[in-house]
Amino acid sequence: MKIAKIIELLDAKVLCGADKIDGTVNSACGCDMMSDVLAFVKEQAVLITGLCNPQVVRTAVMMDMRCIVFVRGKLPPEDVLKLADEAGIVVLATNERMYTACGKLYTEGLTGGEVIKNG
12 lies in which domain range? 3-107
Q: What is the pLDDT of residue 119?
A: 47
Is 50 exceeded by the pLDDT of residue 82?
Answer: yes
The number of domains in the chain is: 1
Of 30-39, 54-63, 81-90, the one with minimum mean pLDDT is 30-39
Indicate whether 18 belongs to any domain. yes
Indicate whether 117 belongs to any domain. no
Indicate whether 116 belongs to any domain. no
CATH number, domain with residue 23: 3.40.1390.20
Q: What is the pLDDT of residue 97?
A: 97
Indicate whether 87 belongs to any domain. yes
Indicate whether 112 belongs to any domain. no
User: pTM of this prediction?
Assistant: 0.92
Between 3-10 and 98-107, two packed helices, what is the crossing angle to 10 degrees?
A: 120
Question: For residue 106, what are the CA distances in angstroms to 22, 28, 30, 56, 62?
Answer: 19, 8, 11, 22, 24
